[in-house]
Amino acid sequence: MDPRIEIAEVVSFRLKLPLAELERVPREAAAELQLSLSREGAEWLLESRDGDSALRFRPSGQEAVLTEIAICNDDGGAFFQRVLGPLLVRFQGDCELRLVWNIAARNTHGDFAAVTVRRGQTNYPGLSQPAQTLRNALVAGPPSLGEGPSAEPARADAPPAGPNPDEQEIERLLNRGRELFAEYQRARAARMAKE
């Protein structure tokens, strides 16, 4: 059975972002998310075409204020983890949710998983600022030749370039993330064994 957020119970939220950034979300999101942004009266609706998840925003000058969160039948938690979560982290929003997963092991608080974001900070796996920075770096990939002020074509007689410091840092962070996840899994298994 594939993991899915069956429903998200929204306790509270606060998020404001530039309208221009909201308009970029469907274009910059991964193609498999199938997002659309449309006007409904005076409000903007950012929704998943394939699921039952959406965010509603009210324009306020050059900003968009989040007025409604609806997450339902979210396969893999993709809408939550790749749309709402990153917006909350990037624009320092606040949110308290109870996610009800279809897989009991993901419901860390009995029947749900509690998620709290305060001023863009959270300890929920995959939503922290370092995780978002790393995800953005991995999605963007290394800059292509000719980008940036110091890019020069490689000379045929030049020695091979050394390891890219950015790639080394990403690899270090990925390894550390794997270690922490393995540690979490061991602690969780020990806790479940005691129950």
Is the distance from CB of 114 to CB of 9 less than 8 angstroms? no
Q: What is the pLDDT of residue 145?
A: 42
pLDDT band at 55 (very low <50, low <70, confident <90, very high): very high
Q: What is the pLDDT of residue 128?
A: 56
pTM of the model: 0.64
- 165-194 and 129-140 helices, crossing angle to 10°: 130
Residue 124 has a CB neighbour count (10 Å cut-off) of 21
3-state class (DSSP) for residue 195: coil
Average pLDDT, the chain: 78
Q: 60-112 pLDDT, tens per residue?
A: 999 999 999 999 998 888 888 888 988 998 899 999 999 998 888 888 888 98
Residue 191 has a CB neighbour count (10 Å cut-off) of 9
Q: 150-185 pLDDT, tens per residue?
A: 333 344 444 444 556 666 777 777 777 777 877 777
Q: Of 4-13, 32-41, 124-133, where does mean pLDDT reach its minimum?
A: 124-133
Distance, CA of 66 to CA of 99 (rounded, Å): 19
3-state class (DSSP) for residue 125: coil
For 53, 95, 140, 182, 187, the CA distances from 122, given in Å and listed in that order, are 21, 10, 23, 20, 20
Domains and CATH numbers, the chain: 4-123 (3.30.310)
